[in-house]
Chain A
Amino acid sequence: MKIVVCVKQIPDPASPYELDPNTHFVVRPNDQVLDDTDRYGVEVALQLADEIGDDASVTLLSMSPGGSQQGIRQALAMGADGAILVEDPALRGADALTTARVLAAAAQRAGADLLIAGTESTDGYTGVVPQQVAELMEAPSLTFARKVEYVDGKIRIERQTEAGYDVVAGSLPAVLSVTSGLVEPRYPTFKGIMQAKSKPVEILTAADLGVAPTVNQTIVAVESVPARQAGDVIEDDGEGHLRILEKLEEVKVV
């Protein structure tokens, strides 16, 4: 089984994001990191591949306007066999639909039986790319999985719902989106980190995939929102709870 996992390099969430004042795109530093939520998809892929054995491989798939491959190497170090990087300046600021077209074309070119992604990225959080990719691949979408199994040639998941969960199964090729927390992502070992440096990374352009990036949506204005005024911040001196009680009385809930 050929498992392809979508991973995204994003600006380090620990440092504040900026928008380019001219393009309104998120400023992407040369060194981006692996979106933490993608580690769950990589872990699910590695576990499925271990279970299936020699016939399974795990390939990472990522799209980027350029820059370093630091985030991809982080995911390779977890144990994936190789990566496909669609790297093209024409994809700078690509919206969800263009992103989905690129990912679907690359996954199909790679002969993916199972495409795994997180439910949304930490920087863009549109939350529809896996479903768009599934539609473009004419494949079933098994989404919001909190548990994944491979049973009788099908992928069976526990799908998170508002009320609890559904058990859903779909046949391959399929697109699977996974929630955070469904598995414990492994930490790269020293050996893994060293091996990641020499693992194959195939670099493609949008044109190689036959995708012409289109502008589907345009930003017309960016405004800052008046910040909510912070109130009193006080050090607890053993009577902090009384301040809370006063506040609750003030707003008449006790």
Chain B
Amino acid sequence: MKSWIFSTESDGAASSAALEAMTKVRSFGGEVAAVHVGEGSESALAMLGAHGAGRVLLVPGGTPAGVIAAAMAAAVESEQPDMIFFGMGNVDRDVAGRLSARLGKPVLANAVDVTVDGDSIHVVNEILGGTTRVVTAFADGAPALVITRPKAFAAEPGGDTSPEVTAVELPDVGHAGDVELLSQHTEASAGPDLEAADIVVSGGRGLGDATKFEMMNELAGLLGGAVGATRAVVDAGWVPYSYQVGQTGKTVKPNVYIACGISGAMQHLVGMKDSTTIIAVNKDPEAPIFGIADLGIVGDVHNVVPALIAALKNRG
């Protein structure tokens, strides 16, 4: 089995989705290579090596997706990988989609598991808010293109640490590559890293307006947790996209997830349903979030949360 893993670099690190997928494909045996987009810093390359990449195909950061896809298609032709794994990041999805169309091969998205039995590769998805698992096979030959959900696999080191690095040749794709990166901007979010936090306090529409979101920061601060939000709240512009938990945002699996004023749309549930303990406060007793909560309080977040904050402060 020959597997390729797509990775993008940020702050000197390889993408966590890549390290997770690499850990998974090590169990299939065979050759593992990373297609890494970014500067190729020593630390990022070391991470890829430590997770099993024997080789790294390096693509400069900011390369248009059309160019990356064309370069990868050429390399697929000469090297014939069996599988190519992508994460859910925007660059991942751009390249996966374009490569799929270029090769005429399907890409199976939202994978929570992948199994290999002889020549057949099966991808497992969870649909309908995680209540149903669907197993899909590729009808056509290699390479199997897969987009995995974050945290579908745990990342564990276990490989050689100095991969061989090759710069990928970038073809001219004409008009399809006519995308220019003009500037990059960072919108920092305060507090601990949402994806790694042990406690997550998340707010939804039920908070009423953006000013009430401050309660989430205060509660998270007292508990030493991170702050998350629903897509509705991000769409409304209360907090930046980096706060979003759900299908199109981050996937979190903290020890404790406290959902405040969140009804529990499927979109949101898929991003947090695997938290160890879920506590929900919502005024609608029919809210779907109560179906998965370990403790549900049917009540007004504007009463319950301030009372909780006061009680936590009293404990000192």
**Interfacial residues, chain A to chain B (CB-CB below 8 A):** 16-17, 19, 24, 95-97, 100, 119-120, 122, 125-136, 138-144, 146, 156, 159-171, 173, 179-181, 215-225, 227-228, 230-236, 238, 240-245, 247-248, 251, 253-254
Please name all residues of chain A whose beta carbon is closer than 8 Å to the beta carbon of B133 when the two chains form the complex: 221-225
Residues of B47-91 at the interface with A, using a CB-CB cut-off of 8 Å, are 64-66, 69, 88-90
Select one of A126, A139, A216, A236 contacting B110, CB under 8 A: A126
Shortest beta-carbon contacts, A-B, top 3: A236-B299, A131-B97, A181-B235
A140-B177, A164-B242 known, 6 other contacts, Cβ within 8 Å: A128-B107, A179-B248, A217-B139, A219-B137, A245-B312, A254-B223
- Report the bound CA distance from A169 to B174 in whole Å: 15
Residues of A within 8 A of B248 (CB): 119-120, 125, 127, 179
* B161 part of interface (Cβ distance < 8 Å): no
Q: Which residues on B sit within 8 Å (CB–CB) of A222?
A: 132-135
Are A247 and B295 touching (Cβ within 8 A)? Answer: yes
Residue of B100, B131, B185 touching A225 (CB-CB under 8 A)? B131
Q: How far is the CA of A142 from the CA of B66 in the complex (A)?
A: 11
The bracket for how many chain B residues form the interface is 35 or more
Tell whether, in the assembled complex, residue A220 and residue B122 are in contact, meaning their CB atoms are under 8 Å apart: yes
Check A167/B297 contact, CB under 8 A, given A129-B97, A134-B98, A139-B175. no
B242 near A169 with CB under 8 A, answer no
Say which residue of A134, A170, A224 sits within 8 Å of B132 (CB atoms): A224
Q: How many A-B residue pairs have CB under 8 A?
A: 276
Known A170-B180, A227-B131: A233·B98 in contact at CB below 8 Å:
no
Contact of A164 among B66, B90, B186 (CB under 8 A): B186
The 8 A CB mask of B222-257 against A (1 = contact, 0 = none) is: 010000000100111100111000011000000110
Pick the contact of B295 from A120, A227, A235, A244 — CB < 8 Å? A244
Say which residue of A24, A134, A219, A241 sits within 8 Å of B308 (CB atoms). A241
In the complex the two chains form, what is the Cα distance from A171 to B176 in whole Å?
9
Residues of A within 8 A of B94 (CB): 131, 141, 143
A240: which of B93, B130, B297 is its contact (CB, 8 Å)?
B297
Is A163 a contact of B304 with CB atoms below 8 Å? no
Contact A159 B90, beta carbon cutoff 8 Å:
yes
B66, B267, B296: the one within 8 Å of A230 (CB): B296
Tell whether B104 is near chain A: CB-to-CB under 8 Å. yes
- A170 contacts B178, C-beta separation under 8 Å: yes
| Residue of B122, B198, B277 with most partner-chain A CB within 10 A | B277
Chain A's closest residue to B64 (CB) is A140
Q: Does B281 contact A (CB under 8 A)?
A: yes
Contact call B98/A131, Cβ cutoff below 8 A: yes
Q: Would you give the 0/1 interface string for B275-315, flagging 1 where the beta carbon is closer than 8 Å to chain A?
A: 01101010001000011111111111001110110011001
Q: When the two chains form their complex, are residues B90 and A160 in contact, meaning their CB atoms are under 8 A apart?
A: yes
Quick one: closest B residue to A239, CB to CB? B307
A139 CB, min distance to chain B CBs, angstroms? 6
The residues of B that contact A129 with a CB separation of less than 8 Å are 97
Chain B residues with Cβ under 8 A from A131's Cβ?
65, 93-98, 101
B127 to chain A, nearest CB (A): 8
Please pick, from A126, A132, A166, A244, the residue contacting B181 in the complex, using a CB distance under 8 A: A166
Minimal beta-carbon separation of B312 from chain A (angstroms):
7
Bound complex: CA A134 to CA B97 (Å)? 9
Cα–Cα, bound, A244→B282 (Å): 13
Q: Distance (Å) between the CB of B261 and the closest chain A CB?
A: 13
Chain A positions within 8 Å of B312 at CB level:
245, 254
A127 to B298, CA, bound (A): 35
Q: Is B128's CB within 8 Å of the partner chain A?
A: yes
Q: Which residues on A sit within 8 Å (CB–CB) of B234?
A: 181
Measured in the bound complex, the distance between the Cα atoms of B95 and A125 in whole Å is 17
> Would A97 and B104 count as touching, CB distance under 8 A?
yes
Which residue in chain B gives the minimum CB-CB distance to A216?
B106
Q: How far is the CA of A127 from the CA of B106 in the complex (A)?
A: 13
- Tell me whether B296 and A245 are in contact (CB under 8 A): no
**Other-chain residue from B199, B223, B293, B298 in contact with A236 (beta carbon distance below 8 A):** B298
Q: How far is the CB of B17 from chain A (nearest CB, A)?
A: 11
Partner of A235, one of B277, B293, B298: B298
Task: Decide yes or no: A24 and B97 within 8 Å by CB, A167-B183, A241-B311 being known contacts.
Answer: no
From the candidates A128, A133, A139, name the one contacting B96 in the complex (CB within 8 A).
A128
- Please determine whether B97 and A169 come into contact, CB atoms closer than 8 angstroms: no
Residues of B near A160 (CB, < 8 A) are 90, 241
A129-B97, A230-B293, A236-B303 are known contacts. Are A140 and B223 too (CB-CB below 8 A)? no
Per-position contact with A for B199-220: 1 when CB-CB < 8 Å, else 0?
1000000000000000000000
Q: Please determine whether B277 and A247 come into contact, CB atoms closer than 8 angstroms.
A: yes
Given known A138-B176, A163-B242, A217-B108, contact A241–B307 (CB-CB < 8 A) = yes
CB distance A163 to B130 under 8 Å? no
B105–A216 contact, CB under 8 A?
Answer: yes
